[in-house]
Amino acid sequence: MRHLTVLLALPLLSVPAAAADYAPQADTVIAFDVIRGDSPMGTHTIRFERAGERLTATTEVDLRVRFGPVTFFRYTHEAREVWDGDRLVSFTSETLKDGNNLEVQAERSGDSLSIDGMTYDEQPVSLTLPASLALSSHWRGYDPSATVIFNTESGQEMEVVIDDLGTETITVRGEAIEAHHLRMAGSLTVDLWYGPDGQWVKCEFEARGETITYVLRDG
């Protein structure tokens, strides 16, 4: 599964809300069951803690593909984002992917991020990127005009093409909702849906000939 950067809303009004308007409250949890074809593959969970304008988002992803008792694909990703209002303050992540271990640390300095990251063959890299770049964690959504985002696995830039596919009715937790649909093409082509309040509610992409679907849990 190559470069899984595995993280748009419309209220029942005529103007869609931007996903970046999503304002999770303290102790909010967004939890997905990840399905590969018809089989469970793992989970993707984001937990939010809030203290005034300071918001911490902690992501945990645990995916694996088994054949009988043998695991032949394993992916884990743990990340921590600290935001002050709409300003990213810091970011850290640890990722296990295709047998490689990646780590990222990023700190804001003015309008830039000072980043220690890693290539996908585990070579360290240090770089500076604009702090305004969207993170590939998905939950804040994306500006369709963006052509580069921050890869949360490696800490490097990732070129993307984002299409705004408008509003459509989807089923979430057994109910029909109006959702804003974005499609982001990079190392993968990922379809993302965001609900009426801007919350990320669904994800779907193709990997190694299988459809991977994120199904939002109840609660």
Helix, strand and coil in the chain, % to nearest 5: 0, 65, 35
- CA 151 – CA 161 distance, rounded (Å): 14
| pLDDT for 196 beyond 80 | yes
The reported pLDDT for the residue numbered 55 is: 97
Taken in order 35, 78, 1, 194, the sign of the CA dihedral is: positive
pTM score: 0.89
**Is the confidence at residue 2, as pLDDT, over 80?**
no
Residue 203 has, within 13 A of its CA and on its CB side, a CA count of 29
| Residue pLDDT, tens place only, 100-119 | 999 999 999 999 999 999 99
The separation between CA 54 and the C-alpha centre of its own chain, rounded to angstroms, equals 20
Helix (H, G, I), strand (E, B) or coil at 197: coil
Task: Using pLDDT thresholds of 50, 70 and 90, give the confidence band for residue 8.
Answer: very low
Q: How would you classify residue 191: left for phi > 0, otherwise alpha for psi between -120 and 50, otherwise beta?
A: beta
Cα torsion 97, 102, 108, 114: sign: negative
Q: Is the pLDDT of residue 182 over 50?
A: yes
**Quick one: pLDDT band at residue 194, thresholds 50, 70, 90?**
very high
What does the pLDDT read at residue 163? 98
- pLDDT for the residue numbered 70: 86
69 against 161, higher pLDDT: 161
pLDDT at residue 10 tops 60: no
Percent of the chain with pLDDT over 70: 90
pLDDT for 18 beyond 50: no
Question: How confident is the model at residue 20, as a pLDDT?
Answer: 57
Bigger pLDDT: 133 vs 9? 133
Stretch 8-29: mean pLDDT: 59
